[in-house]
Structure 1
Amino acid sequence: MSDTVVSTEGSQEKEFLGHPIGLTICFLTEMWERFSYYGMRALLILFLTKHFLFPAGEASLIYGAYTGLVYMLPVVGGYLADRYLGSRKAVTFGAILLVAGHISLAFEGPQAVIDAAGDVTRSDVHVSVFFLSLALIITGVGFLKANISTIVGALYGPNDPRRDGGFTIFYMGINLGSLLATMIVAGIGETYGWGYGFGLAGIGMLLGLVVFWKGQHLLEGRADPPNPEELKKPIFAGLSTEWLIYIGGLVAVGVMWWLVQNQALVGSLLGGTGALMVAIVLAYGFTKCTKEERERLWVATILIVFQVVFWALFEQQGSSLTLLADQQFNRDLGLFSLTAAQVQTMNPLFIVIFAPIFAWMWVKLSNRGLEPSTPAKFGIAMLLVGVGYLLFSYGLGLTDGPNKSFFWLFVIYLFMTLAELCLSPVGLSMITKLSVARLVGMMMGMWFLFTAFANFVAGFLSSLTGAEGHGTSSGELSVDATIELFHSVGLLAVGIGVVLFVLTPLMRKWMHGVH
């Protein structure tokens, strides 16, 4: 039984439906932001292979570099918000960049063509605009993603028992946006034209910006700059710190435009930065923290590193699993048919169904002293996702030809979703609970940095499912290569789950009463 002291001291006093009222603005803002992000993500791999005619392997690497960078930039955005901007201003600036990025994606350009020699001709201008759109989204997410989660954490006191439930509700908002996006944006994009789908995603992001702008007062100052006077003080050419940060954000867009086109460099950057971040956190723990703070940071760091395998498998949804759904599975479900991108609807649909159940379950188990600790929940998540991939790889081999049973897609999405509910909302809550107050933004950024590396690995793994490990000129995947890869990574995930269960007693000791 946990010896945690239960108290709502330090939480926002004004409530709505039993939770701090500021949660509502975070819920709605993130819902629309995720509507835009997951809407375009559902279409991205298909757009690359069918519109620009990139081979499956190359398209997967672009996808991995993009999603990797999307989760890397919150490291910088989290620091700038902690030190200068505050979460509210950072989220607002990020939302503006996101609106610009998603709207510009709607200008898809002409369809690429293959000539008699087999060479692909694409519009260089529209390819450049496409990569610029990705760069704007990457930078916008960098300013928004970590900081909106940090705001949620700031609404609750350190020992408020509603914290995990609040993050789960917040996470349900994320997936409600994803559900709407994969149903509507994905369907419209594949059926009526890529530009219509991307444009609709942009409108969703605009709604998110308006919601956050109009509802900032509900945060009651909990996301304001730490030193407003310092932020406004001119420091260079008459420009204040705040405006220099905004200009730096625009410069970052140019850097991201270049990086997303150099995928190998992105992998090296993410891996090296991740290792450096771990070293900095550990050094800080040894030199600036008490023994209790240091050991809590150890637990957070261990779980952050282990989550790489989970997200690398989870993010196959937008790459290899979507290509498989397009090329290998019968998507006619009788009463209706799904497009390949709409298959991704299963994940947010399962989240919306099961998130309230999980939130209720954790509270009930906590009241009885039976709730699994955070490390144990991570172990459960790894076991579930590993078993899901083992079952899916088995199902892929049962039928030859492109008419495989939709049941196996249902299985892997269900197992991934149940695993996600054990890890992701709990992980975000874990960062805010185990981090020392002066490092919470940095640690949240570190969570997303390792998620970034996992997304890059996801793209790399997806590229291995093609012929000879690099896809084919037609964008086709190799079923045999996919079966072998998915079986291997499934076994790896199960093994990591077992290791986490073995380490759980030690990590619970290091958490010093934080559950």
Structure 2
Amino acid sequence: MMKPTTNQPDFFDSKVLGHPAGLFVLFFTEMWERFSFYGMRVLLVNFLTMAVISYNPGWEWVPENATALFGTYAMLLYITPILGGIIADKLTGYNWAVVIGSILMTAGHASMALETEASLYIGLGLIIIGTGFFKPNITSIISEMYKFLPEKKDGAYTIFYMGVNAGAFFGMLLCGYLAEKLGWAYGFGLAGVFMLLGTLQFWLAKPLFGSIGDVPKKRDVEDKKDTGVELSQDEKDQVKPNPFTTLDKILIVLSAIIGLGYAINDPMSKIADFDMFAWAETPSISGQYVVVLLGLGLFLILVIGRIIRYAGVVRDRMIAFIIFAFFTVFFWMSFEQGASSLIIFARDFVDRTLSGSAAIAYNVINTALTIIPLLIITYVLYMLSKRSFSKIPGSNIVLAITFLGVWALTLWMLNRDWNTNAYEVSYQAVEQQVVEDGKPKVDDNDKPVYEYIPISENYQVQSDDKVVDKTVRLAETYELEVGQEIPMITKDNVNSTFGYLTPEKLKDTRLKAEKLNVDNKVIKAEVVEVLDNEIEIPVSWFSILNSFFIIAFASFFSKWFDSKYNPSATMKYGLGLIIMAIGFGVLAWGSHGIQEGMKVGMVWLVLAYLFHTLGELCSSPIGLSYVSKLVPARMIALMFGMWYLAIAIGNKLAAVFGGEIENITEEYSLSTFFLIFTIVPAAFGLLIISLGKVVNKLMHGVK
């Protein structure tokens, strides 16, 4: 069997766990990129919506503005890789594209750590462009590595995607922890540091790859874009050239301009109050949505016009592909609530405080969740070093430094959690009865509902204020004594959790409040009791559950789909939507009837992430594999772009609807918000299952 042409004749002889050492260089490169990407992703909406005067001050944007920006960012992340892949193919080669992308993303994370509005936009822009270079091309290197070893490719991608999940896991865990415990700049900065180190270790490993990843030579299109689907002669006859007409090109340009215009205008109109599409506004619909509907219409004309020009089997398979792409929008619209509304829900509506045996149990579980994967990945690093140190010593040294850093941060985090102290403190608050629609609000038992406004340093108590004593628990790493007077401040946006202000933080809080001419929210409290150990779980911790559940259940789903009980494509996709909807149903049930200032148990959110992940594992086999199975080779690039476009639209819709969490909660209830994401995916899941026979017929035997 032929080996890939490289400058290293023993490239495929230097193996780690049965695969070439170069695969594990890519494994760690992707791991650090996902570390930085997910580490930042889990922080952004939390940072933007956190109160400007609080324990860990953010920018206090309303959720609609924060998610509008995040949605555009997420949308563009799935579009720029289309251009990045083309540039790498034609100009830079895969290796240089990965390096360029990594450098741009590193600069983006560094820019975001400055925490100014200009640096935020610059940072997000750099990450978007950098991802466009990085994302498609690192996987292209693997594809080129295994070009003459196709039987090993599935195993290689399995190992590679373990790096994806490992990076996501540790990025959200460590960046989230530092950001919430020490400050946002630490979280954003840490993401950039590991992105830089990942770039350096990849570049220093270049001697191991030889010519793999260089600018591709001109090769046969059908060989390069082989679909892996053997067509009959009759089917091959129907794959005739379908060149883009002048009208096609005009429709592509117009649709692209409108789509990009909407992506930019949506956050700009909300944040900067500048609407490029105000001229199209109608009494019942905003101008940008009028234009979007126009763009969607043009795009449908383009797609339908091209599909009907194909004949027979090809046309039918293209229609089947479009059906899957359509339902993909609704899957990601719901699933990606994990980056927007579920972050806000975890922060403001979930009781994340554990004490006594529950705190000990959490620390034991968290220690195992963290240390065991880290030991396994460190072992992989050790094996890689044994096989490749003589060829790429610099890369191995950089990797060793990164892992020493991860181990140090992990042990510091775990030690901090195991040694957190718990206190009960008292403070004074003004009791006010909640009024809705001009009437006193009552609960389900017809009892009055009250809210309690903590009395801050700047608050002037009025003669008619009803002042009451309240107590709250603090989980701190500082040693406090009974009877000690302490300053504290709220940690969330609903005045239900509090944190102790050190002298430095107290000074900064007062100065910021004075500069903004607002209440500093500093509350005088007194320690009344020292309690058993207590811990407050970071908001970002819940996001790591997706990666954990993927690792835990992936093998089960793989065996299921390889068995005789393997469901059809439409059944898998329908189950994915329905199971994910169950997760939102759990949240709707758990949050039913909660009142102002009340919080739900964290078990509801854990269960939701479990069902969301199970839904993802059901639908993930469909994805890109069906692009290659259903689409003719000469159209595969365009259809890959369309698939990513569907995911991009889903991400944008997820952010748009996720930003309505506060509005819908105020108008109706928190339970109603989650009920929307229960009903919509479930309905579409049942719909695609009902279309099973039609879709199977359109696929003409593709399994």
The answer, yes or no, to whether TM exceeds 0.5 is yes
Report how many aligned residue pairs link the two structures: 455
Taking the TM superposition and a 5 Å limit, the aligned residue runs for 1:383-398 are 383-397=578-592
Question: 1:189: Cα distance to partner?
Answer: 0.8
Query: Aligned to 1:466, what secondary structure does the other structure show?
Result: helix
Question: 1:212: Cα distance to partner?
Answer: 3.9
1:42–1:342 CA contact under 8 A, matched in 2: no
Greater RCO (Cα-Cα under 8 Å, separation 6 or more): 1
2:68–2:267 CA contact under 8 A, matched in 1: no
Paired with 1:11 and 1:96, the residues of 2 have a C-alpha distance of 28
1:54 aligned to 2:65? no
1:373 aligned to 2:373? no
Q: TM-score, normalised by structure 2?
A: 0.57
1:60–1:462 CA contact under 8 A, matched in 2: yes
Specify whether residues 449 and 275 from structure 1 end up closer, same or farther in structure 2 by C-alpha distance, changes over 3 A only. Answer: farther
Specify whether residues 221 and 501 from structure 1 end up closer, same or farther in structure 2 by C-alpha distance, changes over 3 A only. Answer: farther
Map of 2:100 onto structure 1:
93
Bigger radius of gyration: 2
1:343 aligned to 2:542? yes
Paired with 1:379 and 1:10, the residues of 2 have a C-alpha distance of 42
Map of 1:196 onto structure 2:
186
Specify whether residues 74 and 273 from structure 1 end up closer, same or farther in structure 2 by C-alpha distance, changes over 3 A only. Answer: farther
2:265–2:276 CA contact under 8 A, matched in 1: no
Specify whether residues 305 and 487 from structure 1 end up closer, same or farther in structure 2 by C-alpha distance, changes over 3 A only. Answer: same
Structure 2 residue corresponding to 1:64, chosen from 58, 68, 71: 71
Query: Between Structure 1 and Structure 2, which shows a larger proportion of helix residues?
Result: 1
Specify whether residues 217 and 377 from structure 1 end up closer, same or farther in structure 2 by C-alpha distance, changes over 3 A only. Answer: farther
Question: 1:283: Cα distance to partner?
Answer: 4.5
452-461 vs 181-190, which moves further: 452-461
2:49–2:63 CA contact under 8 A, matched in 1: yes
- One-letter code aligned to 1:355: A
Taking the TM superposition and a 5 Å limit, the aligned residue runs for 1:437-456 are 437-456=633-652
1:306 aligned to 2:306? no
Question: 1:371: Cα distance to partner?
Answer: 2.1
1:146–1:441 CA contact under 8 A, matched in 2: no
Paired with 1:81 and 1:131, the residues of 2 have a C-alpha distance of 26
Map of 2:349 onto structure 1:
328
Cα-Cα RMSD:
3.8
Map of 2:686 onto structure 1:
498
Taking the TM superposition and a 5 Å limit, the aligned residue runs for 1:106-505 are 106-108=113-115, 126-149=116-139, 167=157, 169-215=159-205, 223-227=213-217, 261-262=268-269, 280=302, 283-287=305-309, 291-333=312-354, 334-335=359-360, 336=363, 337-363=536-562, 365=563, 369-397=564-592, 399-400=594-595, 401-424=597-620, 426-467=622-663, 478=666, 480-505=668-693
1:131–1:260 CA contact under 8 A, matched in 2: no
Paired with 1:296 and 1:87, the residues of 2 have a C-alpha distance of 31
1:282–1:298 CA contact under 8 A, matched in 2: no
Question: 1:131: Cα distance to partner?
Answer: 0.9
- One-letter code aligned to 2:123: S
Query: Aligned to 1:107, what secondary structure does the other structure show?
Result: coil
Query: Aligned to 1:261, what secondary structure does the other structure show?
Result: helix
Specify whether residues 330 and 80 from structure 1 end up closer, same or farther in structure 2 by C-alpha distance, changes over 3 A only. Answer: same
Question: 1:200: Cα distance to partner?
Answer: 0.6
- One-letter code aligned to 1:338: I
Q: TM-score, normalised by structure 1?
A: 0.76
Gaps of 5+ in 2: 6-10, 51-57, 220-259, 278-287, 364-535
- One-letter code aligned to 1:383: I
154-163 vs 174-183, which moves further: 154-163
1:39 aligned to 2:235? no
Specify whether residues 11 and 282 from structure 1 end up closer, same or farther in structure 2 by C-alpha distance, changes over 3 A only. Answer: farther
1:465–1:485 CA contact under 8 A, matched in 2: yes
Query: Between Structure 1 and Structure 2, which shows a larger proportion of strand residues?
Result: 2
Question: 1:457: Cα distance to partner?
Answer: 0.9
2:63–2:660 CA contact under 8 A, matched in 1: no
- One-letter code aligned to 1:406: M
1:270–1:452 CA contact under 8 A, matched in 2: no
Specify whether residues 203 and 511 from structure 1 end up closer, same or farther in structure 2 by C-alpha distance, changes over 3 A only. Answer: farther
63-72 vs 493-502, which moves further: 63-72
- One-letter code aligned to 1:495: A
